[in-house]
Amino acid sequence: MTTVFRPYSASDALRSDRSAGDRLRHRQKIREALKENIAEIVAEESILTRGSDRIVKVPIRGIKEYRFVYGDGSPRVASSGQGEVKKGQVIGQDEQEGEGTGRGPGGDRPGVDYYETDVTIDELVDLLFEDLQLPDMERKHLREIEVDHGTKRLGYRRSGIRVHLDKKRTLKSKIRRRVATGSAGPVEELPSASLQDPAAGAEKPRFPFHKEDLRYRRRVPDVRPESNAVVICIMDTSGSMDVMKKYLARSFFFLLYQFVRTRYQTTELVFVAHHTQAREVDEEEFFSKGESGGTMISSGYRKALEIIQDRYHPSLWNIYAFHCSDGENFSSDNTEACNAAQDLCDVCNLFGYGEIKSEAEYFGATSMRKVFERLKADNFHAVVIDDREDVWPSLKAVLSKERVDPQKEGTG
């Protein structure tokens, strides 16, 4: 029998990260898993309008390696350690998680691996929009405005006002001029001589500043193109919108907001709640307060138009309006609603209408989608949202309809 010792070598250790490739692939798989139920994850959190750097903890079920295993019901053996156990004693809780798999002693039973991943909302949104083929959309021209940010420095010039005088550069150019004229001795003697002995300095010929030496900092107006967007969330808060419907609406608004936010420097949110009358409300009220009564959709649209007129002029703002309703409108209001929707389409980049219906209600109920079929606008899109899984596909469908402002497109 012989024995060999191979000593530790730090440089080998650095080079030998052999599992790197497999770890990468594993992470990719986790990312895929995250992506699969991302709309659900996002919808779970009440993260609408919150800061984008906020970190959310997302539990991801580990990528399982399935094989045939025994279930939980069968007896197992363990050692009691130091303590005593008695028949019938309860020694712990079966860790029931997910599909009801317990983690028993030993590796032969299905354990549940939960990875809790920290992701910022930005990362989530990146994942979300990965399959939207964003590059294609980014080529579209966005409404931009030039915003004056005051002035900024840009180089130097020979004339200007006193406060912009750059003394160092002025002195340098004076020295340069003197050397060029050859009227003085070695440059470095000058200051010391004049310091030690003013009388000696006086003997030399004076070499005063000339107007040519003066250098001024140049300032130019700083104008940057900025893009602003506003997302107008309009929701029907009539009695027929229950908690689940509001929840779906909320998921939808959240995703829309996140999408818009990725493309504009400032994005604002406006909430309009309506039943027969419309009001602008804050976020909390928008989602939490239920109201009762009938529905006049046109009131919400008129309110939105009003807000746009007052605060978000279409020449300065990219407007995304989205309306969630269950489609139960007073039929007398339909024509008016349609006209208002047409007006909204004219000023918005995108106007979407989401009809939230449970399947049972879908047949026989009145639907605004039929009414809106009359609309003549290619930036309008109506979708039906039945449950949570529909939210993401609907949003994708809506976004594909985004229209670019025709006047600006030419100049872009």
Partner 1 sequence: MERIYETSDLEAWDEKIRVKVEEFGLTCYDQEFELCDHTQMLGAMAYHGMPAHYPHWSYGKAFERQSTLYNHGAAGLPYEMVINASPSLAYLMSKNSLCLQILTIAHVYAHNDFFRNNATFKFTQADNVIPAFKARADRVRDYMEDPSIGMSKVEPVLDAAHALSMQCSRNPAIRKLSQDEQKQRALAAAQPPADEYSKIHKRPDYIEPDLSKVPLEPDEDILLFIRDHQPRLSDWERDLLTIVHQEAQYFIPQMETKIMNEGWATFWHREIMNSLDLPQDIYLEFLVRHNQVVQPIAGDINPYHVGLKVWDDIKRRYDEPTDDEIARDGKPVMTGNEAMFALRETDRDSSFLRRFLTEDLCGELGLFEFQSQDGALVVTETPDEGEWKTIRETLLRSVGTASMPVIKVEDADYDQNGTLLLAHEHDGRNLHPGYAEHSLAHVHRLWGRPVALKTESAGETQVWCYDDNGFRDAS
CB of 57 to partner 1, least distance (A): 15
Shortest spacing between CB 319 and partner 1, in angstroms? 43
CA distances from residue 295 to 84, 288, 306, 314, 345 in whole angstroms, order as listed: 69, 18, 19, 27, 21
CA dihedral 280, 270, 291, 391 (to 10 degrees): 160
Nearer to partner 1, 4 or 180 (CB): 4
- Beta-carbon contacts of residue 313 (< 8 Å; ≥ 6 apart): none
In total, the chain counts a number of residues equal to 412
Cβ 128 to partner 1 shortest distance, Å? 24
Residues 255, 39: contact at Cβ < 8 Å?
A: yes
| Residue among 85 and 244 whose Cβ is closer to partner 1 | 85
CA dist., res. 297 & res. 333, Å (int): 7
Q: Whole-number minimum distance, CB 130 to partner 1, in Å?
A: 18
Residue among 280, 320, 276, 317 nearest 299 (CA): 276
The closest alpha carbon to 119, from 193, 227, 179, 44, belongs to 44
Beta pairing partners, 180: none
The SS3 of residue 211 is helix
Q: Which is nearer to partner 1, 110 or 327 (CB)?
A: 110
- Least distance CB 30 / partner 1 (angstroms): 9
Query: Which residue ranges make up the site for partner 1 (CB under 8 A)?
Result: 1-8, 10, 13, 16-19, 21-29, 62-94, 96, 99-102, 105-106, 108, 110, 113
Smallest distance, partner 1 to C-beta of residue 28, A = 8
Grouping H, G, I as helix, E, B as strand and the rest as coil, residue 184 is coil
CB nearer to partner 1: give 7 or 208: 7
* Nearest to partner 1 of 11, 411 (CB atom): 11
Cβ-based nearer residue to partner 1, 101 or 258 = 101
